[in-house]
Amino acid sequence: MQFSDTSILIIISSLIFISGCDTGPKSAKGFSLPEGDATQGEQTFVELKCHACHTVSDVKLPEVESELSIGLGGKVARIKTYGELVTSIINPSHRLAKGYPSAEIESDGQSKMKNYNEAMTVDQLINLVAFLQAHYELEEYTPTYYPVIP
């Protein structure tokens, strides 16, 4: 099927419209959790064996039998928001991490990450988020160079 330029434009703008219209009862508007403690978050990360599947940039974690090696933290173009990190932990299949071979991260479109929702306390969750967020670093933005055509 062929799309004309106009219909592509209409499709894109309606997608933007749908995603921007996020104020229904299920929207995250008004969502806020208390500030966590990064040091305790690091302990929780080890206690819950998150490091069996994840490395965290610049953090030396104790040895563990490793299942996967998915890096968290490090240089990113945009720091992950609180909401994104919370979602990655309590609803990992919501949006699967980018940049990994899909066989490594999912089976049947579901994240291979364990579900912690029945084991994790809210304190553990907010501390984990504080710990992880502290290890993301904003990549310096290099503007694209456009030569001036005389």
Provide the binding-site residues for ligand HEC, judged by CB under 6 A. 45, 48-50, 52-54, 67-68, 70, 72, 85, 88-89, 92, 96-97, 105, 111-114, 116, 128, 132
Total length of the chain: 150
In which region does residue 58 sit, left (phi positive, over 0), alpha (psi from -120 to 50) or beta (all else)? left
- Provide, rounded to whole angstroms, the least separation between the CB of residue 17 and ligand HEC: 26
- Provide, rounded to whole angstroms, the least separation between the CB of residue 20 and ligand HEC: 22
Whether 48 contacts 54, CB under 8 Å: no
- Provide, rounded to whole angstroms, the least separation between the CB of residue 89 and ligand HEC: 5
- Looking at the Cβ atoms of 21 and 77, the one nearer to ligand HEC is 77
- Looking at the Cβ atoms of 14 and 91, the one nearer to ligand HEC is 91
- What residue number has its CB nearest to ligand HEC? 50
CA 75/CA 79 separation, integer angstroms = 9
Whether 95 contacts 111, CB under 8 Å: no
- Provide, rounded to whole angstroms, the least separation between the CB of residue 4 and ligand HEC: 35
- Looking at the Cβ atoms of 5 and 118, the one nearer to ligand HEC is 118
For residue 100 the two structure tokens come to 């990994």
Locus of tokens 């456009």: 146
For residue 86 the two structure tokens come to 């919370």
